[in-house]
Every structure is written in C-alpha cells, then in structure tokens.
Amino acid sequence: MGIKIGIDLGTTFSAVAVYDEESGRPVMVKNQEGEWLTPSVIQFADDEIIIGSEAKDSYENGENGCVSVFKRRMGDPSPYCVAGGKNYSAQDLSAILLRYLKESTEKITGQRVDEAVVTVPAYFYQQERAATLNAAKTAGLNVRQIINEPSAAAMTYALSHWRKNAKIMVYDLGGGTFDVTILQMSDMPVMRSLKTTGNHMLGGKDWDDLLIRLICDKIFSETGTDLRSVPAAYKAVERQAETLKKSLTQLYSTSVTVMLPEQGRYKITVTVDEFNEYTRPLLERTGSLCRNLLGELNMSWDDLTDILLVGGSTRMKQVPAYLEEISGHTPISHVNPDEAVAMGAAIQVNLPVPDYKEVSLRTVQDTAEVRQSAAEEETELSSPLSLRYTDIVAHAMGIIAVNDEGTYYINKQLSVVSYQL
Ligand code: ADP
Ligand code: MG
C-alpha cells in the first residue's frame, strides 16, 4: 500500500506533507534535495529540466530558461513560456512541478504515492481549479480533492487550538495571492468557513516590485540616472529584490550595489521605514478586503476571536503591526506559515471519504445564528481524523441547462453556498 500526501502548490514555494499515524499529526516531507520547501521555479536547460532551488539560483544569477510565478496565470491556456520550440502554459508548468514533488516524495519515503489533496487559493475561480486538477492528473497524481489554502491552514491550527465557537479570520498573504477567510469552530469536530474573499494578483511579489521601484526612485533622485534605462543593472536589482525584501524583515536597512554608466559602482541603501511607506497601499488593499468581508457577515473586528497569520509574506513585521492597528487584535502566528497549508492537506487526504447521501446548500444568512455564540476555552482536538470542515465557495454559482439544439438556459445566480469537505 502506498501513501496519501497533501501538496501545497504555491506561487513561490511548494511543499508536501503526510499524516503520521503514530503521532496522529501531519508531518512535512523533504524533497530529494533535502529541503522542506521547493521553490516553484523551473529551468529549461540544454538537455534537462531543473526544478526547485537550483532553478531559483540560476534565475537569481541571470541564467536563461528560468520560469517562476506561473501560478498567477493558472487557468489561462495561452503559453506562459516557450522552451525548445515548445509552448508551456501555466498548467503545463505546474504539471512539471507536481510530477517532481510526487517523484521526490516517492524517493524520500520509499513508498508509492497513491492519492493526493492539492491546495489552491480560496479565491481561485473554477477555471483555475480545473487547470490545477488537470496539471495534477498530467503529473500522474490521483487527486482526491482540491481544497482551499486558508481552510487547510485552519485545519492544522485547529488540531492544537480547538476553541468552540471561536471566530477566526485567516489572513493568508503568500507570494502571489491574498486570501482572507472567516471561519467558526462549532461543535467539535466541525469547522465551518463563513465567508471568503481575496485577490489573486496581490502577494509578496508586489512587495518585491515596489522595492524595485523604491530603489529606482532613490537612485534617480540621488544621481539623476533612471535605472530602467540601464537594463543590466535593472535586471540585477530585479533578481535580488526578494532577498533584499527578506533582509528588511531582520534588519533596519539593506543595500545593493549597481553599475551605473556615469558613476560606476554605486551603492544604494533602503530603510525599512521607506519600504513600509512605499508598500503601505498594498497593506491597505488587504485591509479593505478584510473589512468588506466582516461587513458582508455583519460582523465587527470585536466579534473576531483571533486573526491567524498564514503565508510567507506575513513574516514582514509591517503585516501584524498593520492588522493590530486596524483591528485591535494582536494577530497570532501559531502555525508555521510555510507548512500549515501542506499539513492541512495531509489531514484532509487521510480523512475517511464522506458518504454523500444528499447535498445541502447553505447561504451566509443561514449562519447568522451560530455567529452569536461566545468562544469557549481552548482545548486540543481529540482525534485529528474526525475533523470535519464545511467550506465555502468564494464565487456565486448558477445552474446551466442545455437543450438538444444547444440553447443555454441559465437560472438566476444562487447566493454563496457552502459544501462539506
Ligand atoms: P506561496 O504559497 O504563494 O508560494 P508563501 O506562503 O510560500 O507563498 O510565501 C512566499 C512569499 O513570502 C514570498 O513573496 C516571499 O518573498 C515571502 N517571504 C518569505 N519569507 C519572508 C521574510 N522573512 N520576509 C519577507 N517576506 C518573506
Ligand atoms: Mg502558500
């Protein structure tokens, strides 16, 4: 018998977890390079395809044939890149990455991967979900389910922080996407998402881009040179932007040296205050999505029990500081933002398959009553594999009927509905 795995297919990093029967907890699995996280970067080299850290290093060193951030174009069938005369869509590239994750896990564990749950941003549309599923099939994976990333992270959190009636806002800021979900832990072991929203074009990459702009603006005001007109220097800054951004999480300032036509080697320093000021509008975009979500549920910040931080970009200190400023809650980071999603998927793939006798649809209004109850004391979830999650769809649904002549009959949209995981 093989194993069942949870896969976090991220914009910047991907990860795999399995369920450990002995401890009753999900655990991460390293890739064949011995790393917990696999950069979602592919390099088309002369006679081979390189995946992960080596491809990321090549990208940062300015080598040719490297592709990254393709998840942002998931569901778009047009070519994302051309390599060796062949077109690759975001789905094709994701299939290559997923196959690597599958084969790597098989090598490390010595077991065959039988089944997988793959995660996607909650805000993904059907087309993007279908593309993810197709990519997984191409990669030779038998996918039990596609689940939402914040829901997966919340499952991991709930294992050790069960709190009846707690209303948790999951704030998930990754590399390319932002999702925010409000969920409630109801009677153990049932959790339900109340509502979700997001923006799949808002993530750490946008912070990188604004850091590049900040560097360009500073160089221009100090030297009068527009870095964009010096392609080699601009590309060098572009490649280092993420590393520079991460160093600003640790340090007050960071520097980069560029070659300018007139000044030669020129060192530019950026402080965290300057970076925070430039990127404040991005934070505010996340904040207004959070406020809208609360508004749609008729809730206020005070109605929330906690705000849970998920996603690598929540490591930037500006994120918890901003959330505290607007909400009055000190956000909690009780899960490892890099691992929680894959671990939640590993729980999900090991849960018993539900016996669907009927499908029930609930609207947001149906949850109004349960939202009134006060949160109780925190406990540990007695049995992880009894967990049940009622998830929500981010986008409205409708029903299409087609007659023999191909005429479409479309009903009026259903309001937001939920489904049981
Ligand atoms: P995804 O799931 O979209 O791949 P992740 O949740 O793995 O995203 O987060 C990746 C993002 O987090 C990247 O934009 C990365 O630069 C950012 N990140 C990771 N660690 C840090 C850090 N220490 N400081 C700032 N940003 C970070
Ligand atoms: Mg992620």
Closest CA to 212 of 179, 236, 237: 237
C-alpha 245 to ligand 1 mean position (Å) = 10
Pairwise CA distance, residues 318 & 183, whole Å: 24
Please, what is the average pLDDT of the chain? 90
Structure confidence at residue 410 as a pLDDT band (50, 70, 90): low
Average confidence (pLDDT) over 257-285 = 96
Nearby residues of 154 by Cβ (< 8 Å), 6 or more positions away: 168, 170, 181, 183, 191, 308, 344, 389
Tokens 């098989």 correspond to: 106
Structure confidence at residue 30 as a pLDDT band (50, 70, 90): very high
Backbone dihedral angles phi then psi of residue 177, each to the nearest 5 degrees: -135, 155
User: Residue 243's CB: how many other CB atoms inside 10 A?
Assistant: 12
Which ligand is the nearest neighbour of the Cα of 148? 2
**Is 10 near ligand 1, meaning CB less than 6 Å away?**
yes
The ligand 1 atom nearest the CA atom of 71: 3
The ligand 1 atom nearest the CA atom of 12: 4
**Is 279 near ligand 1, meaning CB less than 6 Å away?**
no
Tens of pLDDT, residue by residue over 311-353, are: 999 999 999 999 999 999 999 987 888 899 999 999 999 988 7
Per-residue burial over 136-149, b if 16 or more Cβ lie within 10 Å, else e, is beebebebbbbbbb
Q: Give pLDDT, residue 60.
A: 86
Which of the listed residues 202, 313, 317 should we mutate to test ligand 1's pocket, taking the one with most ligand atoms within 8 A of CB?
A: 313
pLDDT > 70: what percent of the chain? 91
C-alpha 100 to ligand 1 mean position (Å) = 21
Q: Give pLDDT, residue 310.
A: 92
SS3 annotation, 179-239: EEEEEEECCCCEEEEEEEEEECCCCHHHHHHHHHHHHHHHHHHHHCCCHHHCHHHHHHHHH
pLDDT > 90: what percent of the chain? 69
Is pLDDT of 264 > 70?
Answer: yes
Which ligand is the nearest neighbour of the Cα of 176? 1
Per-residue burial over 60-82, b if 16 or more Cβ lie within 10 Å, else e, is beeeebbbbbbbbbbbeeeebbe
Burial class (CB in 10 A: 0-12, 13-18, 19+), 181: buried
Which ligand is the nearest neighbour of the Cα of 173? 1
Is pLDDT of 386 > 90?
Answer: no
Closest residue to atom 13 of ligand 1, CA basis: 175
3-class DSSP assignment, residue 388: strand
Query: Which two tokens mark 292?
Result: 């809208």
Average confidence (pLDDT) over 166-190 = 90
Q: Are 165 and 143 in contact (CB under 8 A)?
A: no
Q: Which amino acid is at 304?
A: L
3-class DSSP assignment, residue 6: strand
**Is 245 near ligand 1, meaning CB less than 6 Å away?**
yes
Q: Are 137 and 368 in contact (CB under 8 A)?
A: no
Question: pTM (2 decimals)?
Answer: 0.88
Average confidence (pLDDT) over 5-22 = 95
Q: Which amino acid is at 143?
A: V
Q: Are 268 and 241 in contact (CB under 8 A)?
A: no
Tens of pLDDT, residue by residue over 191-245, are: 888 888 999 889 999 999 999 999 999 999 999 999 999 999 999 999 999 999 9
Is pLDDT of 415 > 60?
Answer: no
**Is 200 near ligand 1, meaning CB less than 6 Å away?**
no
Is pLDDT of 98 > 60?
Answer: yes
Q: Are 161 and 167 in contact (CB under 8 A)?
A: no
H or E stretch at 320: helix 318-327
Length of the chain: 421
Q: Give pLDDT, residue 21.
A: 87
Pairwise CA distance, residues 213 & 219, whole Å: 10
The ligand 1 atom nearest the CA atom of 311: 6
The ligand 1 atom nearest the CA atom of 207: 14
Distances (CA, A) of 142 to 90, 91, 100, 137, 281: 20, 16, 15, 7, 41
User: Residue 232's CB: how many other CB atoms inside 10 A?
Assistant: 9
Give the DSSP letter string of 133-182. HHHHHHTT--EEEEEEHHHHHHHHHHHH-EETT-EEEEEEE-SS-EEEEE
Structure confidence at residue 411 as a pLDDT band (50, 70, 90): low
Which of the listed residues 7, 8, 13, 93 should we mutate to test ligand 1's pocket, taking the one with most ligand atoms within 8 A of CB?
A: 13
C-alpha 120 to ligand 2 mean position (Å) = 8
Q: Give pLDDT, residue 265.
A: 96
Is pLDDT of 394 > 80?
Answer: no
Pairwise CA distance, residues 166 & 185, whole Å: 6
Pairwise CA distance, residues 198 & 31, whole Å: 30
Tens of pLDDT, residue by residue over 113-167, are: 999 999 999 888 889 999 999 999 999 999 999 999 999 999 999 988 888 889 9
Q: Give pLDDT, residue 81.
A: 96
H or E stretch at 75: none
Pairwise CA distance, residues 347 & 335, whole Å: 15
Q: Give pLDDT, residue 11.
A: 92
Pairwise CA distance, residues 265 & 241, whole Å: 18
Q: Give pLDDT, residue 408.
A: 73
